[in-house]
Amino acid sequence: MTHPTQTPKQKGWRIWIRALTNPHLLICLAISWFLTNGWAYCFLGIGICFDIGWMRSTASVYLGLLWFPGTPEKLITFAMAILLLRLWFPKDERTLAFLKQKQQLLWTSIKQKYHRFIAWKNRRRTKH
C-alpha cells in the first residue's frame, strides 16, 4: 500500500525494495553468493585456523581477484540467484514477473543504444 503523498521516485524505490527483499530471492541470493564467494571465505578461515597453506593460498588469490575492477562476480551471483529462483520457486510469479519486466526494459534500452551507435558510426563513415 502506498502513502498518498509518496513521490514517484519513492514508489519506484519501494517496488525495487519489495521485489529484492522477497524471502525466496534472498535464499537463492545467499546460496549463489556462497557458491561464488563464500567458499573462499570459509577456505581462508579454515586455512588460517589449521595452518593449511593450499587453502589459505587458494582463498587469498580468489578473494584478491574479486577486488579487481571489472570482475563480473556480482553479475554472475545475481544471475545464478535468478536461475535458482526459477528452478526452486517457479510459483513465485510476482518476483519472476517483476524481473522479466525489468529484463525486457533492459533489452529494449540496449537495442536502442546499439541502433543509435550504428547510425552514428554510419554517419561518421560517410563523412570521410
Predicted TM-score (pTM) of the model is 0.68
Looking at residue 21, its pLDDT comes to 80
Query: Looking up cell 545475481, which residue turns up?
Result: 78
pLDDT of res. 1: 52
In angstroms, what CA-CA distances link 22 with 11, 32, 81, 118? Answer: 17, 15, 12, 39
The mean pLDDT values, 10 residues at a time, for the chain of 128 residues are 67 74 90 95 96 96 89 90 90 80 86 90 80
